[in-house]
Each structure stands twice: as C-alpha cells, then as structure tokens.
Chain A
Amino acid sequence: MAVTRKQLRAAAAVLVLLAAVAAVLAPGAALNAGSLALLALYSTIRMALAFILSLVFAVAFGTAAATSKRAGEVLIPILDILQSVPILAFFPPALLFFYYSLGGSAVGEEFAVIFLIFTSMAWNMAFGVYEALTTLPGDLKEAASVFGVRDWLRFRRLFFPATIPKLVYNSMLSWTVGWFYLVASEAISSGSLNLERPGLGSFIFAAGQRGDVPAILLGIGALAVVVLLLDTFLWRPLSVWSERFRMEQTAGGPTTRTTAPYERLRWLPRFPRIRRWLSARLAPLAKGWNRAASPLDHYYVSHPKLVRTVRWVDLAMFLVILVSVVVTGVVGIAAILTSPMPALAGEIPAAIAASLGRLGLAYASALAWTIPVAAWVVQSPRASRFVTPFLEVVASIPATALFPLIIAFAVLAVGAFGLEAELSAYMVALFAMQWYLLFNLIAGMRSIPGDMREAAKVFGLRGRIYWKRVLLPAIMPSLLTGSITAWGAGWNALIVAEYISYAGHVYRVGAGIGYLIAYSTYTPGDQGRLLLLSVLALVVVVLAMNKLLWRPIIKRASTRFRIEIQ
C-alpha cells in the first residue's frame, strides 16, 4: 500500500505552501531554514554516533549475559537498574567525566551530549539482544555444536543473525526515545553550568526560551522531516530485511500466514530505484565483511591463547563495571547517611505518590482512546489507510519538542486556575505513553487469526461478548508489552514534564519526583544529595513496579496467552 506519486506530489505541495505561509508570516525564521538543515545534520550525526555506541554495547553486553550463566546473573540486574535510572540523573556524571576531564572543551561537551543520548538508547537494545539469544531454539545451538561451529564463527553465523529482528525493532524504538531526549540533551544544565551544542534540539529549546512560536514550529517541522526521511530510507527497509532472520513458528511444511502482521510505516513510499541502487552499493560491503571476517574465523580458532586473553579482558571489564557500580552506590548511601538530610528530602514520599497518580491518570486516558481507535483502524481498511500514516507522523514528533505548544494550550485552558503546570505535565506523560499502547494494540489485534474471527462470526459473537471473549483476551499479550514500555517511557518523561522552563517562566507541579530530580539538577548550589536521594527513590519504585506488578502479571498471563515481550 505504497503512497502513489500523485499523493506524494500533493503532500509536497502542501509542505511548500506551509513553508511559504511561514516565510511570509516570519521572514526572519525563513532565513534560518538554511542553517536549520545544517542543525538537523548535526543532530542526526550526534544521534548516529550515540546509536553506534549503543549497538556495540548492546551486542557485547547482551551476548555476554546470554551465553554465560555466571555473567548473566551479574549483568542482567545491573541492566535492570541502569534502565530504571532516569536520564537526567546521568547529567552530573556525564559532565564530570566528559566535560571537566577534557578541560571544558567543545569536544568534551560533545562527548557529554552523545553519552546522554546513549543512555536513552542502549539499555532496551541490550535487553533485546539478551532476549533474542535466550529464546534461541535449542536445536540450532545443538546443530552448531554437532557441526563444530564455535567461537567467532558461531557468533557470526548463529548468535548475531539471531538477534537481528529484535535488534532492528529495538533500534527503531531507541531512535524514537533518542529524539525525545535530544531536545533535553543538547542543552544541558547542571547547577550553574549551561552547555549548548548546535542542533535541532537546542534550536527548539532556545526558541522555547524566547517564546518564538514560528521558530518553534519550524524546528518541530524540521525534526519531523528528518525522522520521516530516516524512516523511509533506513528503518522501513531495514525492518523488511530483518524479517529474513526471524525464526519460523512451525517446523514442518511451508509457513502459512492467516493475516498480515502489523508493520509500521507500510504507507511510506518505497522508492524501488533508490533502494536498488543502495543495495547494489551495499552488497560489496557485506561481501567484504564476509571476506574480512572469514580469515578471522581461522585465526580465532587456531589461537586459543588469544581467545583466552579476550575472555580475561572481558572478565576484567565486567569486574570494573561491577566494582564501580557497587562503590558508587556505597559511597552515595554513606554520604546520605553521614550528613544531615537535605531540606526537601521529606517531600520525596508525597512526590512519588503524586507522580504515580499523574502517570496512572495519563495511562488510563491513553487506554481509553487507544483501544477503540486500534479496533476501528483494524476493522476498517479504509480508516487504516488514512489514519495510520497520520498517527505515525504525529507519533514521530517527540513530546519534548511539543513542550511550547503543550504549555501554550495548558495556559489557555486552565491558566486561570493556576493548574497549567499540572495539565502540561499530564499531557507530556500522555504523549510519551500513548503511542506504545496504540501501536502494540494495533499489532495485537492484527495478529488475531482469521479463522478465530470467522469462528466468532459463525457463532454469533458480537458486541460486548465479542470484546470480552475474543478481542480482549487475544490482545492481552500486546497490551502488556505496550503497558510496560509505556510506563517505562512515562517515568522518564515525568522528569522533563514536571519542571518545564519556557519563555523565561518556570512551570512546575506542586509535588512530583520528576520535579525534585529536575530541581536538584538545574538549581545552582549543592543539591547533589537531594538528587541522589530522589533518583534512588525513583529507581526503587520503578524496580518494585517491574518485579511486584508486571512480572507476576506476565507470569500469570503467559500460562493462558502466548506472550512475546519484544
């Protein structure tokens, strides 16, 4: 269902018209458009570097955790904790390591920004690799073993290919999250220090500070264009290609598919000529990699000493990570215990409760609209044809870039009652959560087998009983997946949502853990202990929710439904 050339032309015309209107209304902003392209390029390169780092980290970490039971016992809890640490908490150490250690140079700033984006991309990818390898069919591992496929060759021929579907899926997710935090990361402030690197994120942030609405819109538009271009030319082709690496469900016979699974971005133009040109250029690259890698196979096998050295280096690195995590934790807790409690520490429990309520409300409203919309989109192909592209474009705009618009709306709606900060925090949380629910639900409803639908029709199941007996049980697994991802995103979003600085004015909620963390990060003076305490409290809450709420639900649900957590 590719978009026709006619539709493309129409879309391009609308864009040009919009640009022209913007140029007439704000000539200054239009002059910026040229430099905007450059800023977009900077941001994309920054994202790409952080992504490459995340990829290397995820593959190494995930493989180590999945292939060695002992390493897994240490690494997976570490990853669990890292994933639940809010990205803002990485600001001070990032600055410390990269900015000050490099003498406050531009290179140091750049490193700090890239590291921050890395912290928003890497963890879920590492989990993806780990899950792909732990669910690898045992007979494939046995076959590799019987035929003597070991070490490097086994990684190249078995482990790495097996991770590709989950890796590509999680990479798309990571880029979405990365764009979300780009806006926060390109303009870092901690205490009295403010850093700004040129990019789309800092452009939108600065425009927000000035309250320059045309510039904000321009920035958001540019961001959307970049995201869609990458989707068209990178992620959509990659996700199609990654299907080849998916395990088959049934052993015997050719695989039969009752319904087409939900693919995101189906509607994007395919540009077959460009794609063919690209794959022709890329084929020698893949061949070259194979040719370069195969002597390595032999070298690796014929030098057992090298293998042992590599393993020792691996082990040493894990030990360093482990020791540094433990030492940081112990030192931090000791610092908290030995010194008087910071003044605001007493607010933490109430702040957590307020944030939990805010997220619960956002989650409930997201559920309330996504379930019916998903059902509607799946039932009506015509609706899907026009609504899906629209939803996916809107979803591609990170909520952080929408701050100015959200605040303007909130001030207009409830400013009279002084609730604008509450409403905007709720809206940012809603925007951060809803898309994970929506797209997982659409995927879940699409994957209901055709014969099950037909059986429901034959037996006259309609209305409430159809929802209760067919639809809801069938979407349970994807609802759970979507909910877990949504809550993870929600917690992280709160940190940037409960304390927003816009047009010289600070919008802060009455109480919230995100506000406390943001406050202790941005406010000059020694707020280190408050930051540490709030982050610790948040990590404990997130971990507790995962272990005490989601884990048992998944366990119970997986006996009744087939659960695949992506």
Chain B
Amino acid sequence: MTAGSLILEVKHVSKSYSENGKEFRVLEDVSFEIHDRDFICIVGPSGCGKSTLLREIVGLDLPTSGEIRFEGKPVQAENPRISMVFQSFALFPWLTVLENVELGLEAHKVPEEERRGKAKKYIDAVGLAGFENAYPRELSGGMKQRVGIARALVMDPTLLCMDEPFSALDALTAQNLRDEILQLWTNPDIPPSAVLMVTHSIDEAVYLADRIVAMSPRPGRIVKIESVDLPRPRNRKEPEFYGWVDEIYSLIV
C-alpha cells in the first residue's frame, strides 16, 4: 500500500491535568501520522484519552507537550480544513436542517446563494432531501447524525474527525450509517481526503479502518498501529474478520 501525501502529524503528544494538586496523565508520548486517503480508527477502552486526543487535533484543546502539525503547520482552532462529527450530534435545536448545515459556511462568510447550493448538495448526499426545513427534534437519531455528517462535509474538509459518531444510535441505524460513510468516502466528488474516527467498538474499527491505532488505558499510550488489509466490502462473518477483532482485542486489554 502506497501512502499518499502527509496530512497530519502527531508528534510525542502528552497531556496531563492537575486536580487538587494531583497530576493526572491522560496521554503519554502519542505519535502517528495521517496520509491522504487514510481511514484511521483510534480504538481504546473508555478513559484512554482518545477523545482528548481528537479534541487536540481539531484545536479545541492543547497538548501539555509535543506537537500536532496539519499540512506542515501547527494546528489552529477554527480551521475549516478540519471538520468534526460529534457523538451527541451537537445540532442547534432552534435551527432547521438547512440552517444547521449552512452555519459553518455562514461563519466563513460564504455568500448566501453559494452556501445554500452547497448545503442542499450535502443534505441530498446524506439522504435527507425534503427535510431541509425540519427541526432536529423532529428527526430520528440516525437522521440527526446524518445532519451532523452533512454539516461536517459541507466545509470541504481535508480531514474529517468523528468522535464515536454511531454510539448514540441503535445497532441497525449505526450499521446503515457505517455503510453510507464508506460509500461517501469512496465517492471522489465528496471530501474528505482522510477520516479519523474515535471509537470503543473494535468491531466497528475493523469494519471501517485501513489502519487501527490501538491505545492502552490511563495514561493513554499507543500499543500498536495495525494496517487492516481485508478487502472491502468486509464481511463480519468471515474468519479473517474475527481474527482481526481478536488480535486488536488482545492488544488493548
């Protein structure tokens, strides 16, 4: 497998909090790279700092030491080239589907007609055509997360970050959305160049990722980075799939 051009570098990142005078180490010396056309899953038990790592990559949080570089420069908050999908969807309940999707473009001063056209394109792409004027509370959980995905994609991101995007959904809906994410990702007309997803489900990581970053609990350290070379579409019932799941499982427990 030939790697594309380098998009993101995480170099020796550590993070610690101090609470009541005691220091808690959350991340310890984490390093990895993301290249063009990568689909990377960070897997680890809860409390391994994987969400903290993702927040630092998006620029919502700063590492205590180490460095994160995006396209050669240190990451900055509010970078439109990095987008994010939230576990809890984080939709604005008082805005319609269309307004929610448009919000990031509005913030970046995209003219109204252009942003409307773009927003509609991605609302169609996630299968929500006809729901432009609905409010989030009128949608099911799966539909809400589709809005979350459209809102992230409409920014034309180079890197799409997802924080446990399917864990608030029921099993069937989650599986449908996983397949759709893969489909969107293989569509050359649609960004992003690379996807970085945080999950605690090993099964989900083996199903989706090219590479899996396996992390240990407290403080979070990278145990191993595995390249999953199973052909797509992957079948959960095949022994090779099981083999991968078992191997990752043995790494992080």
Contact = CB atoms under 8 A, between A and B. Distances in A.
> Which of A150, A246, A251: most chain B CB closer than 10 A?
A251
B93 A247 contact: yes
A557 interface: no
Contact of A297 (B80, B83, B106, B170): B106
Interface in A230-264: 244-248, 251-255
A60 B215 CA distance: 45
Contact of A143 (B77, B86, B109, B137): B86
Contact of A161 (B87, B92, B108, B169): B92
B190 interface: no
B88 A148 contact: no
A311 interface: no
B107 interface: yes
Interface in B52-103: 55, 58-60, 77-78, 80, 82-84, 86-90, 92-95, 103
A71 interface: no
Contacts of A255: 137
B123 to A, nearest CB: 16
A148 B94 contact: no
> Which of A143, A148, A245: most chain B CB closer than 10 A?
A143
Given A146-B58, A146-B84, A254 B92 contact: no
B103 A157 contact: yes
A255 B83 CA distance: 27
B94 A149 contact: no
A146 B148 CA distance: 12
Given A139-B86, A301-B109, A244 B104 contact: no
A271 interface: no
A251 B94 contact: no
A254 B104 contact: no
B241 interface: no
Given A148-B104, A149-B103, A252-B141, A142 B94 contact: no
B139 interface: yes
B140 A253 contact: yes
Given A145-B78, A149-B107, A252 B90 contact: no
A153 interface: yes
B88 A139 contact: yes
B151 interface: yes
A140 B93 CA distance: 10
B131 interface: no
A158 interface: yes
B155 interface: yes
B107 A148 contact: yes
Nearest to B151: A147
Q: How large is the interface on A (under 10, 10 to 19, 20 to 34, 35 or more residues)?
A: 20 to 34
A145 B77 contact: yes
Contacts of B59: 146
Contacts of B83: 146-147
Interface in B130-169: 135-141, 151, 155, 168-169
A245 B94 contact: yes
A324 B103 CA distance: 42
A342 interface: no
A244 to B, nearest CB: 6
Nearest to B105: A147
A298 interface: yes
Contacts of A161: 92, 94
Contact of A147 (B103, B109, B141): B103
A64 B109 CA distance: 26
- State the majority secondary structure of interface residues on B: loop
B80 A148 contact: yes
A248 B93 CA distance: 8
Interface string A127-150: 000000000010110110111111
B92 A146 contact: no
Contacts of B141: 251-254
> Which of A148, A255, A294: most chain B CB closer than 10 A?
A148
B85 to A, nearest CB: 10
> Which of A140, A147, A244, A248: most chain B CB closer than 10 A?
A147
Contacts of B135: 244
Contacts of A148: 78, 80, 104, 107-108
B60 A142 contact: yes
A137 to B, nearest CB: 7
> Which of B55, B93, B168: most chain A CB closer than 10 A?
B93
A129 B231 CA distance: 54
B60 to A, nearest CB: 6
Contacts of A149: 103-104, 106-107
A247 B88 CA distance: 12
Interface in A102-150: 137, 139-140, 142-143, 145-150
A161 B103 CA distance: 14
Contacts of B89: 251
Nearest to B61: A142
A147 B157 CA distance: 11
B108 to A, nearest CB: 6
A180 B186 CA distance: 66
Contacts of B95: 157
B90 A142 contact: yes
A205 B89 CA distance: 56
B124 to A, nearest CB: 20
B171 to A, nearest CB: 12
Contact of B87 (A158, A244, A251, A253): A251
Given A139-B86, A246-B93, A253-B170, A145 B140 contact: no
A181 to B, nearest CB: 33
Given A251-B141, A253-B170, A147 B93 contact: no
Contact of B93 (A244, A254, A297): A244
Given A251-B141, A252-B168, A142 B86 contact: yes
Interface in B163-216: 168-170
Contact of B155 (A147, A294, A297, A298): A147
B137 A248 contact: yes
Contact of A254 (B87, B106, B139, B169): B139
Q: Would you list the 10 A-B pairs with minimal beta carbon distance, nearest first?
A: A147-B104, A252-B168, A143-B90, A139-B90, A252-B141, A251-B88, A148-B107, A148-B78, A161-B94, A149-B107
Interface of A: 137, 139-140, 142-143, 145-150, 153, 157-158, 161, 164, 244-248, 251-255, 294, 297-298, 301
16 contacts: A139-B87, A142-B60, A143-B86, A145-B78, A146-B59, A146-B78, A146-B84, A148-B107, A149-B107, A153-B106, A248-B93, A251-B87, A251-B141, A252-B141, A252-B169, A297-B106
Interface of B: 55, 58-60, 77-78, 80, 82-84, 86-90, 92-95, 103-104, 106-109, 135-141, 151, 155, 168-170
Given A147-B80, A147-B104, A297-B109, 9 more contacts: A137-B88, A139-B88, A145-B60, A146-B84, A147-B78, A147-B151, A153-B107, A244-B94, A251-B168
